[in-house]
A and B are shown apart, each in its own frame.
Chain A
């Protein structure tokens, strides 16, 4: 199963992909939101999006809002270095927000499985 990973930090993206691969998912990387939209067109089979929050030009949350405008129903997980609660108050529609830390190796696969299970 393919999952779009959006992060301007190549290493961070690789890290997320490595975690996903260990759960038998395939990560497709986009460096920014523009590239993310291109990837979505190229790979309609993408089942989920995992995006970093803080990126130059268009942030993760703006990306999410844009997707909503385009009526995308893809599950969306936002990764952030900050406290997720402030982001959640900022954008209540956002259901999945994870803190980027070393526990990601455990928290992310759990959340991905959970979200995909529900959909």
Chain B
């Protein structure tokens, strides 16, 4: 599905580029029609008809390709020509002037469009989230690309520096022209744009609006402004921005706003497991759910369900009640035997309308019944509702509310299960215990809000800079536990040490005061320890040593070195 829609996008981009190439010719045709109309002293139905159609088709094509401004101008010409036809009127000086105006506007708009290179080297990204990209690369590869455009160099450099600490890839621009040219070659994930430029007081937002129009979609953008003016805000809103910051912008708040903007991209589709012994039926239900944007895995043999369950980790399981090898109730019971899956929503698909039988099935702990034959929309809503509720519940249970990281107990659980899985594969795991330095002083001196700011910033750095497969948890008040996978101890040391250095550069502010904060970390390698307790214990000892050695440093456990 994604394949075809991205093909379509490529094609549309090409067509848009062709359209712009043909624009001069089209405009000449329109002008030719106007000339003819001006030259004929009597009303000429044919000529007027041509004029009307010329404007009309320009309007139609422009709006088909998303060039709304062109379409608006063409519509003015079309309207005028229509008026001439209905009244059988001839051209006069006044009408000529209006048409000349329209032509001038069209030409201006065309020149603008011609300057942008539409033959992009890549199509704009499809909004869907590609699965299988779980291994987000280190820093560079998966980090969101942010363009900052502001004519005050100092401000840009400062933001670049601070936002880079959080793991964003930043590209800076100090004039709107180079920004516009680059955006059209490679669209960023988000834009931070100043409003005021030498050209005009709203050149920044105007550029954004134009770029969005050319791209045919809305770039996520945040607007920065020197003064808090209504005109500035209005132009920002018109350019599709929903976030407006007055300078000096605090990098921490900008980072939070950027995260908000980019959040949706990383919403994972609901994961549904279908167990049905009839492949065709499973396929049918799977198609319905996939069409609604869910990620579906099918199992046709109940005996394989547990294995698939482990690897796929669905948000909900849909089970057919009547299966030869083992019934739906039996399978649900087996799944419920595994403590991890006690809370897993299970929904039966059955042609059972007998309430009593339904009730007995529910006693095994099944969330609901969907009766065959299913109505697609009902299936989707029944599944989505339960799966989403499961996600929310799971999130509430497993995440720390301030930072969004795993909380203490789930961190431990996840680390334990990762360790037990890895036991067989010999994959290396590195345990990192990380603790903020003198955090109590921050709280005492600057207040708890400032302290929270530090915790959130650190968690943001960790989330952005580590891979999705790494486990990151808030282990205690100011203590964080991280499990890094498939990495050597040397690489891990280097990585955490870079994070340490970058984090120490982030400037926090509380009222008028500014301060920085550091952390210490201890590392241990699973290769040298037999159990989770020993592994965490060793990292803890290394952390303690780092603190003793003066803090703001990373220390590797002696045995793991």
Q: Which residues of A contact B (CB under 8 A)?
A: 8-9, 11-12, 14-15, 18-19, 21-22, 24, 52, 54, 56, 80-81, 100-102, 104-105
Contacts and interface: CB of A to CB of B under 8 A. Distances in A.
A18 B109 CA distance: 26
Given A12-B61, A15-B15, 17 more contacts: A11-B19, A11-B65, A14-B15, A18-B12, A21-B8, A22-B5, A54-B53, A56-B50, A81-B59, A81-B60, A81-B63, A100-B64, A101-B64, A102-B64, A102-B216, A104-B64, A105-B12
Contact of A22 (B8, B22, B49, B57): B8
B56 A11 contact: no
Contact of B8 (A19, A52, A54, A101): A19
A102 B15 contact: no
B57 A15 contact: no
Interface in B1-51: 4-5, 7-8, 11-12, 15, 18-19, 22, 49-50
For A8, A19, A100, which residue has the most chain B Cβ atoms within 10 angstroms?
Answer: A100
Interface of B is mostly: helix
A12 B12 contact: no
B61 A9 contact: yes
A18 B15 CA distance: 9
Given A54-B56, A56-B53, A11 B61 contact: yes
Interface residues of B, number: 25
Interface string B521-557: 0000000000000000000000000000000000000
A12 B60 contact: yes
A104 to B, nearest CB: 6
For B5, B15, B53, B64, which residue has the most chain A Cβ atoms within 10 angstroms?
Answer: B64
Given A14-B15, A15-B15, A56-B53, A22 B60 contact: no
A106 to B, nearest CB: 10
Q: Which 10 pairs, one residue from A and one from B, show the smallest C-beta to C-beta distance? A: A102-B66, A81-B60, A22-B8, A18-B11, A101-B63, A100-B64, A22-B4, A100-B60, A54-B56, A81-B59
Interface in B52-85: 53, 56-57, 59-61, 63-66, 68, 71
Contacts of A100: 60, 63-64
Contact of B60 (A19, A54, A56): A54
A12 B53 contact: no
Given A15-B65, A100-B64, A105 B8 contact: yes
A8 B60 CA distance: 11
Contacts of B68: 102
A52 B61 CA distance: 11
Contacts of A21: 8, 11
A101 B4 CA distance: 21
Given A9-B57, A15-B15, A81-B59, A22 B7 contact: yes
Given A18-B11, A19-B8, A102 B63 contact: yes
A104 B18 CA distance: 18
Contacts of A105: 8, 12
A9 B59 CA distance: 12
Contacts of B71: 81
A80 to B, nearest CB: 8
B182 to A, nearest CB: 23
Contacts of A22: 4-5, 7-8
Contacts of B59: 81
A7 to B, nearest CB: 9
Given A18-B11, A18-B15, A102-B216, A12 B64 contact: yes
Contact of A11 (B4, B22, B49, B216): B22
Contacts of A81: 56-57, 59-60, 63, 71
